[in-house]
Amino acid sequence: MKLRLTVCWLASAAWAVSAAEWKPLFNGKDLTGWEHVGPGAFVVEDGMLKPEGGMGLLWYTPKKFGNTTIRVVFKTMGDRDNSGLYIRFPEAPKDPWYAIHNGYEVQIDSGDDDWHCTGAIYSLSQVRKRNQKPKGEWNTLEVTLQGQKETVVKLNGELINDYVEGAPVPERTKYYEPVRGPRAEYGYIGLQNHDRNTAMVFKDVSVLE
């Protein structure tokens, strides 16, 4: 009995420490620490981030991230709502296209193909499986940056993508697809404000370093 209680206590303690290490980057009240570039805006409604207009970029200004897990909790309202989590862009962006061509976009879009859907490294690494919940339900996207080389993507607890820099990628065929090439080990992160028709919300943006 004593051993069982000890194991249970250790498990509870480990869970508490792990939970405490998550640091929220969005405070649920305002855009402290965030800046928007490009058309449109992000607004805070009922404790959630909501994109309006676009194409714009909301980015977190205080620091760069590497060797980090980023957690984004989002809910789409339509079948073609479009957004994304930008990672690894090395400098403060002057326009939203900087993050596209100098970082990676972890896509949010349930309606596109496997190279351009939720969890894909946009046009570079396709998903292994589809695991997005239906519109109106919350999804948890976790992206782990492991050094400069590896980006691991989980959606609702399932591993759906594991991109290693330097792996073969499709040829770039469209102007809005990212320029190919290596990305920074440490970089800023941001959320995409894609278009005027997207109606989705984010209730959590956190990191585990």
Please report whether residue 107 resides in a domain: yes
Q: Backbone phi, then psi, for 137, in 5-degree steps?
A: -110, 150
**12 or 202, which is more confident?**
202
pTM, full prediction: 0.89
Average pLDDT over residues 78-86: 92
Task: Please say if the pLDDT value at position 15 is more than 90.
Answer: no
Please report whether residue 123 resides in a domain: yes
What confidence score (pLDDT) does residue 19 get?
52
Please report whether residue 180 resides in a domain: yes
With tokens 């920074």, the residue in question is: 184
Q: Which two tokens stand for residue 80?
A: 């073609």
Please give the tally of structural domains in the chain. 1
Concatenate the DSSP letters of all residues of 6-71 into one string. HHHHHHHHHHHHHHHH-EESS-SSS-TTEEEESSSEEEEETTEEEEESSSEEEEE-S--B-SEEEE
Q: Which amino acid is at 83?
A: S
Please report whether residue 2 resides in a domain: no
Please report whether residue 165 resides in a domain: yes
Q: Backbone phi, then psi, for 84, in 5-degree steps?
A: 180, 160
Please report whether residue 18 resides in a domain: no
Confidence tier at 79 by pLDDT (50, 70, 90)? confident
Give Rg (Cα) of the chain. Answer: 17
CATH number at residue 154: 2.60.120.560
Please report whether residue 184 resides in a domain: yes
Please report whether residue 4 resides in a domain: no
For residue range 138-191, list pLDDT tens digits in order.
Answer: 999 999 999 889 999 999 999 999 999 999 999 999 999 999 999 999 999 999
Measured CA to CA, the distance from residue 159 to residue 69 in angstroms comes to 13
Task: Please say if the pLDDT value at position 10 is more than 60.
Answer: no
User: Which residue range forms the structural domain that includes residue 36?
Assistant: 25-208
What confidence score (pLDDT) does residue 128 get?
97
